[in-house]
A and B are shown apart, each in its own frame.
Chain A
Amino acid sequence: MAFGFKGGIHPDDKKSFTERRTIEEMPAPKQVILPMSMHIGAPCSPLVKVGDRVLLGQKIAEAASPVSAPVHASVSGTVVAVEPRPHPNGTKVMSVVIENDFEDEKFLTTAYEETRFADISATALADICYNAGIVGLGGAAFPTKIKIESAVDKVDTLIINGAECEPYITSDNRLMIEHGEEVLDGASLVMRSLGLKTVHIGIESNKKEAIGRIKKYAESMPHVKIHVLHTKYPQGSEKHLIKAVTGREVPPGQLPSAVGVINTNVATCVAISRAVRYGTPLTTKVVTVSGSAIANPKNLLVRIGTPISEVIECAGGLKADPYKVIFGGPMMGVAQHTIDVPIIKGTNAILAFCEKEDKIDEAQTCIHCGKCVGVCPMNLEPLYLNMYAKRNMFEELEQNRLFDCIECGCCSYICPGRIHLVHTFRTAKARYNEMKKGAK
């Protein structure tokens, strides 16, 4: 705990519902919906058409752009539709729908030669990650290929993100407990490919079992260094994890490589290990299903493309009609308007809440308490940004660094005046960008 970072909040972590529940493999659904956009970057174009038979692990979509990641079939079966379908981001996105034949007939893939693991090159690893459709599984879904390529000769530190600071979510925690070896294997591959000597892994102190497991594996891997981090949100934010582990601060608008760091999530490491060792593309995801409306909260291994209605069913269904269904954690997750959306690559949790947990109904009044300033991990002053945003004072917003805001939600969480600060900032950013566009 050498460095840490300023600000942050300590919400009730609510992980006890699922943290001791072994990852359970959910039976494959009748249909999977695979959106062409499950990553940051250009959307893919389908390589298949209605009526085509596809195999499990077959590449079904790819983009011409370099910043992208192909999509693979997560079941074997027949393509029944190629059409826009509801996407977790709230819009409709072109998707390939596959009817499962329950054969799980695998597409033949080749594993990387084991003798070459020790001196795997960054280019080779980047290509494997690309062909396996791997993206950052912590949530941002940035193509791993690009991440590795842009790190070559620029970074001196590799940090594995096992912080998992969002309340309720335990999928990374379970991966570290049950697949710790694969986490460290994937991390070691990235390390070797970049010519680094150490794997730093950061885990929040509330994950005692995971820390114990990783420590045990690390006994035989002297290059693994474990950092037990304060349990504090947003410890898993890329910039704040880097600050906590190395003391370095990534300048606003820049990537971790600017301070010589490459960051990878534990789930991404598992995917990398499997892609290298077995040639397995990314077709499954560990998802925590939890929240007050879920009958039997669980950690499920789910085929990518499974509609969340079926995932919820697999977790015992709903106890009551939910008030809200969220993709991701309660702090940064996206509220859904339908449960017909599929699990995508970056999904780490599905939360369903019965009653209002966000208490937005009180009169919204800023009492100038400064609590938002105290918790802002970017050291901004949300109360003044809010004041400027309400009045469209764009120059002041710029000076006060509105665009440094990572939308972590700490200010909205802590505000005793119940002001929806982050929401104001999102809309202000959009208005600012529109204004800039209009000015051009």
Chain B
Amino acid sequence: MELGRKLMVSSSPHIKTEDGTRSIMLDVIIALVFPLIMAVYMFGWRSLTLTLTSVAASIAFEWLYRRLLKKPSTIHDLSAVVTGMLLAFNLPVSAPLWIPVVGAFFAIVIVKQLYGGIGKNFMNPALAARAFLISWPGLISFWTRPLVNSGMTLFGNVTRESVAVDAIASATPLAKMKLGILPSVVSQQFDGDVAYTLQDTFFGNIPGCIGEVSALVLLAALVYLLIRKVITYHIPVAYIGTVAVLTFLFPLGGNDPFIWMLYSISTGGLMLGAVFMATDYTTSPVTPLGRIVYGIGCGLITVLIRYFGSYSEGVSYSILIMNLLVWTLDKFIKPRRFGVKKEAKKAGGK
């Protein structure tokens, strides 16, 4: 028997899973469409404009940077799309459209590409960009109420004067909780304050960043990511669990611990952070135990900032701080090797 061509010789294994970086990122994008739909429903089509601007800018900066440095293009791996979506989800619908463009530049060029691109950055690009954008606090902390016709245009700038008066939210639920006031209580400290019930906070009928408001939809996205085996349960469960336990044990304002805990986990960026940000591959540990420790760390810092910091939200900073500890967690928390007993490892350690 003669063969028509030379046989390929390579090291085993000779088969590989279909799932590559691109298909994983595609799954994350699909999961991100859940909160995007909710954002459009709650805050109108401007949410989509913001998101598309952010995604387009992220792809453009990634493409441009790699092209200028004569490196192979990486936009096909879709990670820039994920960064762009997450960046937009961390903005209020009122943010000017140049904000996500500046954010995308910081996320893609400074945080991701300067360190070598996908897999090399040590901070979550979208979160680092959000932290950077807080340089313009006035522009990214002007909150409007969902499901209220605010009169915002798709592209124009939004000012307090241009928005319908009844659309302006005087306080986010978290800002009230900072003072120990339940979101369901109308506070005299904020002009024109309205009550937000638990149904509102879980469903997403609250002011906030466009992608973070609906705990329910974010939990659905979590289930999707778990089923698709994109992420493991360790980080989200440890993160949300830690916040739940701490807020249950230490409710502010003498509130009922259980109610306080439910409001604490359903408001702010916790769900978005725990499902999409803290689970970012590059900036989270690889071992199950490492992931649990990391999740607990995120939860602890979140509650500490919410309770003792002067900023009402702690999710983004807690994740960024824990990002810096990932290498250390990976270095010191190793799986127990097969066939090696714990004691033997200590005794035999070099």
Contact = CB atoms under 8 A, between A and B. Distances in A.
B9 interface: yes
Nearest to A326: B14
Contacts of B103: none
B286 A381 contact: yes
Given A362-B20, A379-B336, A309 B1 contact: yes
Contacts of A333: 12, 14
B17 A321 contact: no
A339 B17 CA distance: 27
A366 B77 CA distance: 12
A337 B9 contact: yes
Interface string B236-277: 000000000000000000000000000000000000000000
A420 interface: yes
A357 to B, nearest CB: 5
A5 B11 CA distance: 26
Interface stretch (B49-57, B140-148, B218-226, B337-345): B337-345
B339 A251 contact: yes
Q: A-side binding surface: helix, strand, loop or mixed?
A: loop
A331 B12 contact: yes
B335 interface: yes
B79 to A, nearest CB: 8
Interface string B1-33: 101111111111111110111011000000000
A399 B118 CA distance: 28
A80 interface: no
Given A321-B4, A418-B20, A413 B15 contact: yes
Contact of B286 (A317, A322, A359, A373): A373
A326 B16 CA distance: 15
A360 interface: yes
A383 B13 CA distance: 17
A6 B79 CA distance: 30
A429 to B, nearest CB: 12
B282 interface: yes
A178 interface: no
A313 B15 contact: no
A312 B6 CA distance: 17
Interface in A341-360: 351, 353, 356-360
B311 interface: no
Contacts of B24: 369, 416
Nearest to B345: A401
Nearest to B336: A379
B281 interface: yes
Nearest to A412: B13
A370 B20 contact: no
A6 B289 CA distance: 14
Nearest to A384: B330
Contacts of A322: 3, 7
A290 B281 CA distance: 38
A197 interface: no
Interface centre among B288, B338, B340 (most CB of A within 10 A): B338
Contacts of B187: none
Contacts of A251: 339-340, 344
B3 A368 contact: no
> In which size bucket is the chain B interface?
35 or more
B337 A367 contact: no
Nearest to A168: B15
Contacts of B339: 239, 249-252, 254, 378, 404
A327 B72 CA distance: 36
A335 interface: yes
A36 to B, nearest CB: 23
A284 to B, nearest CB: 22
Given A367-B21, A380-B337, A321 B16 contact: no
Contacts of B3: 321-322, 339
Contacts of A400: 334
Contacts of A366: 119
B346 interface: no
Contacts of B328: none
B7 A324 contact: yes
A368 B119 contact: yes
B285 interface: yes
B10 A335 contact: yes
A186 interface: no
B70 interface: no
Interface in B296-350: 330, 334-340, 344, 350
Nearest to A249: B339
Contacts of A9: 17
A404 B338 contact: yes
A210 to B, nearest CB: 23
A358 B16 CA distance: 5
Nearest to B74: A363
B12 A414 contact: no
Interface centre among B21, B119, B339 (most CB of A within 10 A): B339
A414 B72 CA distance: 24
Given A365-B118, A380-B337, A416-B24, A335 B74 contact: no
Interface string B56-99: 00000000000000001010010100000000000000000000
A338 interface: yes
B232 interface: yes
B29 to A, nearest CB: 15
A357 B14 contact: yes
B20 A359 contact: yes
A379 B9 contact: no
A412 B16 contact: yes
A431 to B, nearest CB: 15
Given A249-B338, A381-B335, A416-B20, A338 B11 contact: no
B168 to A, nearest CB: 42
B199 interface: no
Contacts of A377: 338
A318 B7 CA distance: 13
A431 B194 CA distance: 69
Given A367-B21, A379-B335, A414-B17, A409 B12 contact: yes
A407 B330 CA distance: 23
B287 interface: yes
Contacts of A412: 13, 16
Nearest to A233: B13
Contacts of A358: 10, 13-16
B281 A370 contact: yes
Given A335-B10, A336-B9, 9 more contacts: A317-B1, A360-B10, A367-B119, A370-B285, A370-B286, A379-B335, A398-B350, A417-B119, A422-B12
19 contacts: A11-B17, A251-B339, A321-B3, A323-B7, A324-B9, A334-B12, A337-B7, A357-B16, A358-B13, A360-B16, A362-B20, A368-B119, A368-B283, A368-B286, A370-B286, A378-B337, A416-B17, A416-B21, A417-B119
In the A-B complex, the 7 residue pairs with the smallest Cβ-Cβ separation, listed nearest first, are: A370-B286, A409-B13, A423-B11, A309-B1, A379-B335, A321-B4, A369-B281
